[in-house]
Homo-oligomer: A and B are copies of this chain.
């Protein structure tokens, strides 16, 4: 029997956990609440206790476990040192050292967006590819760049911050990062809703989304599927901005495939079609054959990627 691996994805409200085989089969998954009070001091002990109880239930000793992979909402350096997770109340510390106080199993940590990307490349929409860009269209726009099978973290862990590439000079509103004209101001779920509201205000074109109390990306793409002209214009605008942005990323990294995930991607292939139309127009010919695929792991991408951190880490050491 091969060893088992735990994949842990620490979010601001819940910790997702999975027990995997070394081949990447997800045997079971569960969640526990994230206790962020008291500077998040309970989070790691809670994780350790939950894992130990599953190990007991499954009859696993510490030597049966190859490791625990933990992805966190913040930067993690190559030595596994966490550099502040504001949402968890965490400062700077060595996560393996902290976890070892509770459970004697090797720990490998990574940033959550990067881990989710690694998960999609391992077992999801980018399976079998070595050079992949995973784009998560959620509240913001997240990115995970996989180069030759490994996450591109960059010199200080700020690689893959594709939501903040500068797209427009004449944007009047500020992005959460303090700049103006960032990609995620237009291509995130929030961004699409904003594009829709702006379009609605422009004139009186009739539209099924006019008068909808809370316009979101789903409302827009549902209307697109019904052929609503105004919604289609919004989708074109979204596709042009994101397609152009991704063309630039491809000129730099030349991926085999873009994997598109996050809430917006739930609208399905229509989202890819709008992006690809403009991507092809703007990209350098060397990356014109890059494919577009939907993410397939959904909320489990993080636990898959965290488990993969263990396997890559064990292989490296």
Interface on A for B, CB 8 Å cutoff? 75, 129-131, 143, 145, 147-148, 150, 152-162, 164-166, 177-179, 182, 244, 247-249, 251-256, 282, 284-287, 289-290
Contact = CB atoms under 8 A, between A and B. Distances in A.
B253 A284 contact: no
Nearest to A131: B155
Nearest to A285: B177
Count copies of this chain in the complex.
2
Contact of A166 (B145, B161, B182, B244): B244
Given A156-B286, A160-B254, A165-B252, 20 more contacts: A129-B155, A131-B155, A145-B252, A147-B152, A148-B150, A152-B152, A154-B254, A155-B254, A155-B290, A156-B256, A156-B289, A159-B253, A161-B284, A162-B251, A164-B284, A165-B247, A165-B248, A165-B251, A166-B248, A182-B284
A290 B155 CA distance: 9
Nearest to A249: B252
A290 B161 CA distance: 14
28 contacts: A75-B286, A130-B155, A131-B155, A145-B252, A154-B287, A155-B256, A156-B256, A156-B286, A157-B254, A157-B286, A158-B254, A158-B284, A158-B286, A159-B254, A160-B254, A161-B252, A161-B254, A162-B251, A165-B248, A165-B251, A165-B284, A166-B247, A166-B248, A177-B285, A179-B282, A179-B284, A182-B284, A249-B252
8 closest residue pairs by CB, A with B: A154-B254, A158-B286, A164-B284, A155-B256, A131-B155, A159-B254, A158-B254, A165-B248
Contacts of A179: 282, 284
Contacts of A155: 129-131, 254-256, 290
Contact of A161 (B130, B154, B287): B287
- Centre residue among A130, A143, A155, A161 by max chain B CB count within 10 A: A155
A284 B145 contact: no
A153 B282 CA distance: 20
Nearest to A178: B285
Contacts of A253: 145, 152, 154, 159, 252-253
